[in-house]
Structure 1
Amino acid sequence: MTDPVAQERRWGARNYHPLPAVMSRGEGCWLWDTAGRRYLDMMSAYSAVSFGHGHPVLVAALTRQAQTLAVTSRAVHTDGLGPFLERLCTLTGMDRALPMNSGAEAVETALKAARKWGYRVKGIAEGRARILVAAGNFAGRTTTIISFSSEAQYRDGFGPYTPGFDAVPYGDAAALEAAITPETCAFVVEPVQGEAGIIVPPRGYLAAVREICTRRGVLLICDEVQTGLGRTGARLACDHEGVKPDGLTLGKALGGGLLPVSAFLASERLMAQFEPGDHGSTFGGNPLAAAVGLAALDLLEHEQLAARAAVSGAHLMARLRALAARQPAITSVRGLGLLVGVELDAARVDARTACEALLDEGVLSKDTHRTVLRFAPPLTITIEQIDQAVEALERALLRVVRH
């Protein structure tokens, strides 16, 4: 019998180090491996599977559209794109949307728009525009994006890097203001940093950033590829502080766990910088993506998933903090909604080892920065399933923690 892992190792690039499980089927919050063993998915593909695996409403939308029209390119109009863009803008409060595929593409689109706005509107000298970012950011691994990453591995061996970026400490509004110069056109920030280890900024930070950017004539662009569409217990993480950015990036959950769908959304004054030919994508906004994206947005509202995530997330945090009181290997629990990080004492247990032990208990999670377990299950998860996951974590840690 053919071994798929052996095939992957023989023929695939070695740019991932997967956990030792071979998944073959998913339904709701569950995954099954090739041996038929079931796992509770507490990761949901980094928020891409926010609606659960194979949600019947989304699968039906995908199937109907695939049987009608899937891809045309933007060379012509299609009957599904307009309704998708309207729904996307009305739900987020933004003026216009530019559809792309991956989250990284959405961020790249935002960077282009910000620079052109800097030159055409703010009057920055050509080639001199600078964009501020937060240290610890993660927006993908394209050449431009790694140029402003503070993660050494993402940059190592891939230079020369794209110039024009400056980093400021995350969660420090005063540092942001001090770093702004006449050549600063934008500040790009995650309302909650995901890959950095689920870092939640101090309360009031985003509101303060909004005020500073408005007063200093700088665009605020919020990267909500991971945090958007209900993940943090609100439709957007920005909504927790009533902040409306000038630009917004969405992805992952926008594709319903079925397709790569992303978008850059912006105010009229910012999106107006794009003219025909300035930017594009063969697959961005294709009929299949538009149909699934529209169905995902409708499902988000119909099933009140943001509100459910707020309640479920509070329960998850409470259970994890109670576990931390009994388990000294857990040094902190932090998060917002159903985006939660469990910090481990590296002297007692490696996060990768903890993930593998958790997998043995039938729960899928993923480590980040070797010290943090990430919990970001589908927003459809039940309280009973959350309890199962926490109980499995307790058993896993009892087996692998060094005393």
Structure 2
Amino acid sequence: MKLNSESLRTEGDVNLSQNRDIWQKNHLSEEAFQLLEEDSRYYLQQSLSTPCLNVIEKSYGIYLEDIDGRKYMDFHGNSVHQVGYGNEYVVKAVKEQLDTLPFSPRRYTNKPAIKLAKKLAELSPGNLNKVLFAPGGTSAVSMALKLVRKATGKYKTISMWDSFHGATLDAISVGGEAVFRSGMGPLLPGSLHVMPYNSYRCLLGECNKCPFKCLDYLEYVLEREGEVGALILEPIRCTDVQVPPKEYHQRLRQICDRYNMLLIYDEIPTALGRTGKMFAFEHYGIVPDIVLLGKGMGGGIFPMAAMLVRDDLDVAADIALGHYTHEKSTLGCAAALAVLQYIEEHQLLEHANKMGNYMKVRLKNMQKQIEMIGDVRGIGLLYGVELVNDRQSKEKAINEAEKVMYKCMDNGLSFKISQGNVLTLSPPLVISDQELERAMDILEQSLREIERFS
């Protein structure tokens, strides 16, 4: 197995490496190793997941705690921890729901499901007034792909290389990461891909004179392809943190209208305050035809996702788009309602912007002083720090990025690495001033130390 293969370094950090082995030997107890060995004995091995790094015992607020009592500020959280772990509002709502209606069979509806649908329609800009719920984000993607075919009569989609939309066969068809697609054989017919914003060519400076050459290519493809029903993309890429300018998304909206395509925004990891607004697309002054939510929607307690669509896309009464067993989950809906209530009552959007501004200033100052930092990009409480061996060539500092991550974990800060060299930082929105300052201190100290010995 080639552990340095670029195909392994996309969605997250590699779970098999010498740096990981060293960190585990220096930090894990005999009990932790025994549990990890048992975990590997029973779980199928897969990239990015098994074997696991450590054994977690507790989670609370912004922290994870392992079985040896070591605490980590969690700046990853699989994007479920907007309101923090074990949030009292969410826990209370789920407990109360367990006492009255723990499950609602299909054929019936229930009050939490109706309240949540109404709340999302009220929060959503434009006419995104119709919803369907699902037990996870990938399932929401599946529903959207089916609705596109039903509503438009077209079977082709366009999505971006390097995008992530879930791990099922239909989701990896529209997704663009090799670690999920490679070796799978024929995927969903009609799944076309184009270069994403700020693609590798752009990073090399080849698109400096025309920042949206990627959209020129999109139109080139559309001129030659028929039956394209939708464009699906992440408005802000969560993994390596790509934040397009307003003009990019406004032109995308125009292109979709011109070619009679539906615009689907996958906001599964970025909605509900992560970018400083309830929905990431609100930064761009446009409204998609379909938006997908998930991850943090269940408050880090219950898996929950949703598809929000325009009123006039309510056209599938004669088929089943989802029909999932836990579609109108009373527990999931209670958790999601509590999440939305907590975000509003505790003004987490404003807090995310305030903390994000501090984070931006600290990271930009680090960039000026630390040569290894090639780029800093982000919005709200989502930032990516790109590490390079040389700013001119932009050669990825893959080994250094991994060493920085483990050095940070030595001092109680956990995050993920994307594309091999991007430190992806997404703390809970409930993080305090003191906690964020401490995290930035740990990161800066670790970067300086690794750069000094590289």
- Which TM-score applies when normalising by structure 1? 0.93
What amino acid sits opposite 1:302 in the alignment?
E
| SS of equivalent to 2:72 | strand
CA distance in 2 between counterparts of 1:282 and 1:297 reads: 24
1:113 maps to which residue? 147
- Stretch moving more, 276-285 or 24-33: 276-285
What is the aligned counterpart of 1:10 among 28, 33, 41?
Answer: 41
Matched, 1:163 2:189: yes
Specify whether residues 398 and 374 from structure 1 end up closer, same or farther in structure 2 by C-alpha distance, changes over 3 A only: same
Contact 1:102 1:252 in 2 (8 A): yes
What amino acid sits opposite 1:4 in the alignment?
L
What is the aligned counterpart of 1:29 among 58, 62, 65?
Answer: 62
2:405 maps to which residue? 355
1:41 maps to which residue? 74
What is the aligned counterpart of 1:95 among 129, 143, 148?
Answer: 129
Tell me the alpha carbon deviations over residues 240-278 of structure 1, each in whole angstroms, 9 at most, x when there is no partner.
112111100000111011111000110122232343534
Contact 2:45 2:51 in 1 (8 A): no
Matched, 1:387 2:420: no
User: What is the aligned residue count?
Assistant: 393
Deviation at 1:91, TM superposition (A): 0.8
Contact 1:249 1:263 in 2 (8 A): yes
Contact 2:398 2:421 in 1 (8 A): no
1:135 maps to which residue? 161
CA distance in 2 between counterparts of 1:98 and 1:191 reads: 21
Specify whether residues 253 and 315 from structure 1 end up closer, same or farther in structure 2 by C-alpha distance, changes over 3 A only: same
CA distance in 2 between counterparts of 1:374 and 1:393 reads: 12
CA distance in 2 between counterparts of 1:19 and 1:40 reads: 18
Deviation at 1:397, TM superposition (A): 2.4
What amino acid sits opposite 1:389 in the alignment?
A
- Which TM-score applies when normalising by structure 2? 0.83
1:191 maps to which residue? 235
Deviation at 1:369, TM superposition (A): 1.6
1:214 maps to which residue? 257
Specify whether residues 188 and 323 from structure 1 end up closer, same or farther in structure 2 by C-alpha distance, changes over 3 A only: same
- Stretch moving more, 19-28 or 369-378: 19-28
| SS of equivalent to 1:378 | coil
What amino acid sits opposite 2:237 in the alignment?
Q
What amino acid sits opposite 1:189 in the alignment?
L
CA distance in 1 between counterparts of 2:143 and 2:237 reads: 20
Deviation at 1:40, TM superposition (A): 1.1
Contact 1:329 1:348 in 2 (8 A): no
Deviation at 1:348, TM superposition (A): 7.5
CA distance in 1 between counterparts of 2:151 and 2:103 reads: 31
| SS of equivalent to 1:260 | coil
CA distance in 2 between counterparts of 1:59 and 1:118 reads: 41
1:85 maps to which residue? 117
Residues 240-255 of structure 1 correspond to what in structure 2 (within 5 A)?
240-255=283-298
| SS of equivalent to 1:39 | strand
Matched, 1:174 2:216: yes
CA distance in 2 between counterparts of 1:265 and 1:366 reads: 29
Specify whether residues 348 and 138 from structure 1 end up closer, same or farther in structure 2 by C-alpha distance, changes over 3 A only: closer
Contact 2:130 2:308 in 1 (8 A): yes
CA distance in 2 between counterparts of 1:18 and 1:326 reads: 36
Contact 2:262 2:289 in 1 (8 A): yes
CA distance in 2 between counterparts of 1:54 and 1:391 reads: 26
2:245 maps to which residue? 202
| SS of equivalent to 2:253 | helix
Contact 2:267 2:291 in 1 (8 A): yes
CA distance in 1 between counterparts of 2:135 and 2:340 reads: 16
- Stretch moving more, 57-66 or 175-184: 175-184
Contact 2:117 2:131 in 1 (8 A): yes
What amino acid sits opposite 2:37 in the alignment?
A
Tell me the alpha carbon deviations over residues 223-252 of structure 1, each in whole angstroms, 9 at most, x when there is no partner.
100111111111111101121111000001
What is the aligned counterpart of 2:417 among 367, 372, 392?
Answer: 367
What amino acid sits opposite 1:35 in the alignment?
D
Matched, 1:332 2:375: yes
CA distance in 2 between counterparts of 1:398 and 1:10 reads: 39
CA distance in 2 between counterparts of 1:274 and 1:314 reads: 46
What amino acid sits opposite 2:36 in the alignment?
V
Unaligned runs of 5+ in 1: none
- Stretch moving more, 147-156 or 158-167: 147-156
1:267 maps to which residue? 310
| SS of equivalent to 2:385 | strand
CA distance in 2 between counterparts of 1:274 and 1:297 reads: 29
Contact 1:46 1:376 in 2 (8 A): no
Tell me the alpha carbon deviations over residues 301-352 of structure 1, each in whole angstroms, 9 at most, x when there is no partner.
2122122111211211110111122221111111111111111124474322
- Stretch moving more, 56-65 or 262-271: 262-271
CA distance in 2 between counterparts of 1:347 and 1:97 reads: 43
What amino acid sits opposite 1:369 in the alignment?
Q
| SS of equivalent to 1:60 | helix
Residues 281-292 of structure 1 correspond to what in structure 2 (within 5 A)?
281-292=324-335
Deviation at 1:42, TM superposition (A): 1.3
Deviation at 1:18, TM superposition (A): 6.3
Specify whether residues 342 and 26 from structure 1 end up closer, same or farther in structure 2 by C-alpha distance, changes over 3 A only: same
CA distance in 2 between counterparts of 1:347 and 1:256 reads: 34
